Amino acid sequence: MAEPLLGVENLVRRFGGITATDNLSLEVAKGELHAIIGPNGAGKTTLISQLTGQLSPDSGTIRFAGRDVTRLPAWRRSALGLARSFQITSLLPDFTAADNVALAAQAHDGHSFYFWGNARKEKHLREAAHAALGRVGLGHRADTVVSKLSHGEQRELELAVALATGPQLLLLDEPMAGLGVAESARMVQLLQELRREFTIVLVEHDMEAVFALADRISVLVYGRVIACGAPDAIRANDEVKRAYLGEQHAVVGHGR
Amino acid sequence: MSFAFNARNAAAALLVAGLLLLPLYSSLSGNVFVLTLFTRIVIFALAAVSLNLIMGYGGMMSFGHAAYLGIGGYAVGILAFEGIGSGFIQWPVALLASALYALVIGALSLRTRGVYFIMITLAFAQMAYYVASSLARYGGDDGLTIYKRSNFAGLINLSSRVPFYYLCLACLFGGIYLIWRIVNSRFGLVVQGLRSNEARMQAIGFPATRYRLVCFVIAGTMCGLAGALLANNTDFVSPAAMYWTRSGDLMVMVILGGMGTLFGPVIGAIAYLVLEDVLSRCTEYWALIMGPLLLLIVLFGRGGIMGLLGRRGDG
């Protein structure tokens, strides 16, 4: 088997006494859509943050596109083609949608120590921005300030920003979070299109979406991968069932 | 770029016209004092404009910006004292010294954020203040009198009021123009993006610190120029120029006028210094009126005076 695009080995991250990522190993092959599911507090976002470099692991290695990136800062990983969308929308709220995306394109178009020319008039950056906005269906909102966009539109913009960095791998942290039914359906359709071009790691709570989209699913519980496989195998896995039901049981048990 | 007619742009245009015509008014009315006052105001406006670049556009709350006033001033003063009177040497040295200071201080301070950044920039400026106080050869605490203004080989006579005023004004307008270009450039967008959401900017591939540092150095250098002008204006430089209250004055000017607007700091500098002048002539307890007044403007006029003039414009 060829080397995976993303390889995680024995990753550990602790917060005080809590081990949020517990000796976790994971492989994502080029071209696949790999979903990561797990109950709340399983350490999904912590994992994503280590993959993108916002958090550094206590031990273990992360390899991306044949390089050890474990100690690289976020911006360097982005330059290598790792893009993320945030679970809690994280955009530049006082910039327009087009500015947000154009800046992402600008970040991957050489350095930005240009002090004189008007960056908003750089044609190729604007065109890249409009192309990415068009892909996620936000073309008509290009000149709207982000803080005036609806939540659903901001979720879509998150995706457009990630696309504009020219990624090899998209790490999507709950792109459906907080979306309505119609918006969710649109997002699923969008992801169906994107998966043909990009390798995607998808963290998502919407099980219907996950089972419809994923090539493989990893189930995370207490920072460990307890199962990894095709959707059908995961659905049939006893340990997974127990983890989900067990957690529910535990919640009821502790909740007086 | 379209210049829509709105209150902000009208104010900026009025401001530019007023400052340009001021010497005319001064000579027609025979009021020399107003020209002296406004020379000082224009110099402080340049300092405030430079602070606004890092504070307003870059989100870096530097509480040590007056250090550059002192460094620029001492560069001129010390060179003059040592017999080097040429402005062609004094001023580049003033700019270079300020840039170098900004580079070192910035590289250290920009590792921190928020309150820590405020405190560390303040601490460094106070250090500069005490260093200047200990320069016994150059007057120490008492400061250094500059007997001869910078000599520009007959190109311009700084001892002559009106030309000197216009030189200061040209520096101010030049600074504002430079900042206007920067703010809309690639670099400017990155710096403003970092103010807005640093984690996001890192995630899309921008190394935050080096962009911030360059911005910090540009602002420091520009303020060093204000320092050189100020020393020439007062024929004197002393450690007081970099005392922390001076840094506070500059911050108030920026906030009062409107952070992150091109002409806001100029309006802030005018409002602050004119108010100080008028009130201090009425009563010796002028600070008692000035304080609450500033508080009210900041509390109720979000975005300072520019904010009161309406929403975003080109001004």
pLDDT tens digit sequence for B284-294: 888 898 888 88
Question: Which residue range is the domain that position B97 belongs to?
Answer: 3-314
| Residue B311 to chain A, least CA–CA distance (Å) | 13
The answer to whether residue B298 scores a pLDDT higher than 80 is no
A contacts of B199 (beta carbons < 8 Å): 54, 74, 90
Q: Do B205 and A79 touch (CB under 8 A)?
A: yes
Report the distance separating Cα B169 and Cα B182, nearest Å. 20
Report the distance separating Cα B226 and Cα B206, nearest Å. 31
Mean pLDDT of B125-133: 97
Tell me what pLDDT residue B4 has.
59
pLDDT above 70 as % of chain B:
97
Confidence of residue B25 (pLDDT cuts 50, 70, 90): very high
Tell me what pLDDT residue A242 has.
83
A contacts of B187 (beta carbons < 8 Å): 112-115
Mean pLDDT of A213-242: 92
| Residue B59 to chain A, least CA–CA distance (Å) | 13
The answer to whether residue B303 scores a pLDDT higher than 90 is no
The answer to whether residue B21 scores a pLDDT higher than 70 is yes
A contacts of B189 (beta carbons < 8 Å): 99, 103, 106, 112, 119-120
From A78, A95, A113, residue closest to B203, measured CB to CB: A78
Tell me what pLDDT residue B283 has.
87
Whole-Å CA distances, A57 to A8, A18, A71, A77, B299: 11, 13, 9, 15, 44
Tell me what pLDDT residue A40 has.
85
ipTM of the complex as predicted: 0.90
pTM attached to this predicted model: 0.92
Tell me what pLDDT residue A254 has.
40
pLDDT tens for A40-77 read 888 999 999 999 999 999 999 999 999 999 999 999 99
Tell me what pLDDT residue A46 has.
94
Pick the more confident residue, A2 or A30. A30
Contact call for residues B56 and B264 (beta carbons, < 8 A): yes
> What is the rounded radius of gyration, in angstroms, for the C-alpha atoms of chain B?
19
Tell me what pLDDT residue A252 has.
41
pLDDT tens for A196-222 read 999 999 999 888 899 999 999 999 999
Mean pLDDT of A126-153: 96
Whole-Å CA distances, A115 to A179, B183, B187, B268, B276: 40, 8, 6, 26, 36
Note the Cα B194 to chain centre separation in Å.
22
Tell me what pLDDT residue A134 has.
96
Q: B111, B182, B189, B211: best mutation site toward chain A, by most A Cβ within 10 Å?
A: B189
Q: How many domains does chain B have?
A: 1
User: Considering only CA atoms, which of B105, B4, B67, B121 is closest in space to residue B240?
Assistant: B67
Tell me what pLDDT residue A247 has.
53
The answer to whether residue A255 scores a pLDDT higher than 80 is no
Q: Do B190 and A103 touch (CB under 8 A)?
A: yes
CATH code: domain of residue B122: 1.10.3470
Return the number of other C-beta atoms located less than 10 Å from residue A29's C-beta. 16
| Residue B106 to chain A, least CA–CA distance (Å) | 17
User: Considering only CA atoms, which of A226, A224, A184 is closest in space to residue A44?
Assistant: A224
Q: Do A117 and B204 touch (CB under 8 A)?
A: no
Q: A56, A118, A173: best mutation site toward chain B, by most B Cβ within 10 Å?
A: A118
pLDDT tens for B60-85 read 999 999 999 999 999 999 999 999 99
Confidence of residue A251 (pLDDT cuts 50, 70, 90): very low
Q: Which residue has the tokens 């340009």?
A: B20
Report the distance separating Cα B206 and Cα B194, nearest Å. 9
Strands A67-68 and A18-28: unpaired
Return the number of other C-beta atoms located less than 10 Å from residue B293's C-beta. 14
Q: Containing H/E element for A25? A: strand A18-28
Report the distance separating Cα B79 and Cα A121, nearest Å. 45
pLDDT above 90 as % of chain B:
86
pLDDT tens for B226-257 read 999 999 999 999 999 999 999 999 999 999 99
What domains can you pick out in chain A, each with its CATH number?
A: 1-81+170-256 (3.40.50.300), 91-166 (no CATH)
